[in-house]
Amino acid sequence: MILWNQKPYHSFDYMLRERFGEKVYKLALDGGATCPNRDGTIGTRGCIFCSAGGSGDFAGDRMLSVTEQIERQKAQILKKRPVYKFIAYFQAYTSTYLPFSRFRAQLEEAVRHPDIAAVSIGTRPDCLGIPAAQSGGSEKICCDPQILDFLSSLNTEKPVWVELGLQTIHEHTASYIRRGYPLSCFDAAVCELQKRGLETIVHLILGLPGESRSDVLETISYINHSHIQGVKLQLLHVLKGTDLAIDYEKGVFSVLTQEEYLDLLIECIACLDPEIVIHRVTGDGPKDLLIAPLWSCAKRTVLNELHRQMKLRGVWQGRDYRP
């Protein structure tokens, strides 16, 4: 059995300690961007699961500057534990979907903060300034072509990571969730990010309506071969005010039980390339918005059970991975 500091998978915490030599915390920031899937450019209602907060429900106050958001969140964390290094995570909506000068100023402000060890940017592959003809994204989306080269130059000062919300490789599910870009667009973005040495983290959702176990494992196999460095494996959450909640209440689909989720998650981890860092193994739905599955609120219990089951079944990350 392979362990990464007691855990049967290559966890984000493990990677951070190896890389920075100490505990590092992520600060969720809101740079004030919107999203082309919400502002009418390619859609108005967003991805079917996305909350009104643009999947940034825990992010800072967008009315504050980047430095103010960092200082405010640092102060909260320091009340509970001594931590001296942080990751500035531009989480809410589509962080690169801003006028380029504003985006650049925010990133420079974050990178030059003395307590920031790395920057992570949540965005869409069609919002990195890659021409639509090359990526297969929408021609209606206008993002500055300098974005990637700028991130690449910033990456020489401090690590810059780019987080892409792929969720699934299957076009039928992508269409149901209204992701708004084809798989080829993700491939083109990863290729451009890798050319510039920018680490890429992919968000996947387990338990999407209509997806079978083998559909999910196909997605895992695909990202194993996509030259990405990290993955977030997230449980599908049904949040208030989303169109997904309407379908859930109509009985169009059901959510996974804890046992079903852990079975699927353990299979995914067993098949995942052990070099890929797992940034998340559950979901972080805001409790006041969460409709289902309510068992996911007991995050510590879910994690303990995951570790117990993996040990019991003799599973570790990459056990079933074939390069």
Residues that bind ligand SF4 (CB under 6 A): 35, 37-38, 46-47, 50, 54-55, 93-94, 124, 165
| Torsion sign, CA atoms 62, 12, 191, 271 | negative
**Residue 210 CB: number of other CB atoms within 10 A?**
13
Q: What angle do CA 141, 129, 62 make, to 5 degrees?
A: 75
Q: How far, in Å, CA of 94 to CA of 42, rounded?
A: 13
Is 47 or 121 the residue whose CB approaches ligand SF4 more closely? 47
Min. distance of Cβ 60 from ligand SF4 in angstroms?
16
Q: Which is nearer to ligand SF4, 164 or 302 (CB)?
A: 164
Considering beta carbons, is residue 165 or 230 the nearer one to ligand SF4? 165
Q: For the CB of residue 140, give the shortest distance to ligand SF4 in the complex, in Å.
A: 15
Kindly report the backbone phi and psi dihedral angles of residue 211, in degrees, each rounded to the nearest multiple of 5, phi listed first.
-95, 130
Residues whose CB falls within 8 Å of the CB of residue 113, separated by 6 or more in sequence, listed in order: 66, 67, 70, 88
Q: How far is the CB of 123 from ligand SF4 (least distance, A)?
A: 8
Nearer to ligand SF4, 55 or 317 (CB): 55
Provide, rounded to whole angstroms, the least separation between the CB of residue 49 and ligand SF4: 7
User: Is residue 26 within 8 Å of 86, Cβ to Cβ?
Assistant: yes
Taking the complex as a whole, how short is the minimal distance between the CB of residue 97 and ligand SF4, in angstroms?
9
- Whichever of 174 and 302 has its CB closer to ligand SF4, that residue is 174
Angle at 182 between CA 272 and CA 140, to 5 degrees: 140
For residue 311, the minimal CB distance to ligand SF4 (Å) is 34
Rounded least distance, CB 186 to ligand SF4, Å: 12
Helix (H/G/I), strand (E/B), else coil: 297: helix
Residue 9 to residue 15: CA distance in whole angstroms = 11
If the CB atoms of residues 40 and 314 are measured against ligand SF4, the closer one turns out to be 40
Interatomic CA distance for residues 229 and 169, integer angstroms: 17
Classify the C-alpha dihedral 258-262-264-269 as positive or negative. Answer: positive
> CA dist 203 to 125, 142, 167, 235, Å?
12, 23, 6, 11
Main-chain dihedrals φ then ψ at residue 165, nearest 5 degrees: -85, 90
Cβ proximity to ligand SF4: between 34 and 258 the closer is 34
Residue 255 structure tokens: 């959510």
> 8 or 165, CB closer to ligand SF4?
165
Determine the residue type at 142.
Answer: C
Closest distance between ligand SF4 and the C-beta of residue 190, in Å? 17
Whole-number minimum distance, CB 166 to ligand SF4, in Å?
Answer: 11
| First-to-last C-alpha distance (Å) of the chain | 19
Q: Which is nearer to ligand SF4, 98 or 271 (CB)?
A: 98
